[in-house]
Amino acid sequence: MLQHGNKKIADTKQTLSEVKKEITTLEIKPLIRQANEAKSKQNYAKAIEQWREILRRQADHPLAVPALAELEDKVRYQAQAQQLMSELALHVGVLHPIWQDLFAQLRTPSSSDIFKSLILYHPVYTRAFD
């Protein structure tokens, strides 16, 4: 009888431990995701400002004006893409959490990916990072 009671207590503790772990995981994951998104957005904004500054300093160069225009187009395009992804994410909320994570990652752009094409098209500005 005593062993049965001890086993029941042990099972209850194990169940409570699992529930606590699951709740903690569910509470922490969104916070980590939000922190990563904020960090990515800050890095993205910082990279854009750095590129704008580089292009403004080189205003006398013949490629600076077209490059700045292209950068502004990319920023506008990215803002539109993020708007669409946010709208899509509202509908994704009913999907499996793996899909939600995927769309969350898609909504946070990598500044290096966004500017790769700018660097390829305007090799003059690659010297700024040397």
Mean pLDDT value of segment 61-73: 79
Cα separation of 85 and 104, whole Å?
A: 9
Longest dimension (CA), the chain: 90
- Whether the CB-CB separation of 125 and 67 falls below 8 Å is answered with yes
Cα separation of 46 and 110, whole Å?
A: 12
pTM as predicted: 0.37
Closest by CA position to 3, among listed 11, 125, 99: 11
Angle CA(119)–CA(124)–CA(127) in degrees, nearest 5? Answer: 85
8-55 pLDDT, tens digit each: 666 665 666 666 565 555 556 666 666 667 667 777 777 778 777 877
87-114 pLDDT, tens digit each: 666 665 555 566 666 666 665 555 555 4
For 44, other C-beta atoms within 10 Å of its C-beta total 20
Cα separation of 82 and 109, whole Å?
A: 9
Annotate 78-125 with DSSP letters as a single string. Answer: HHHHHHHHHHHHHHHTTS-HHHHHHHHHHTS--HHHHHHHHHHH-GGG
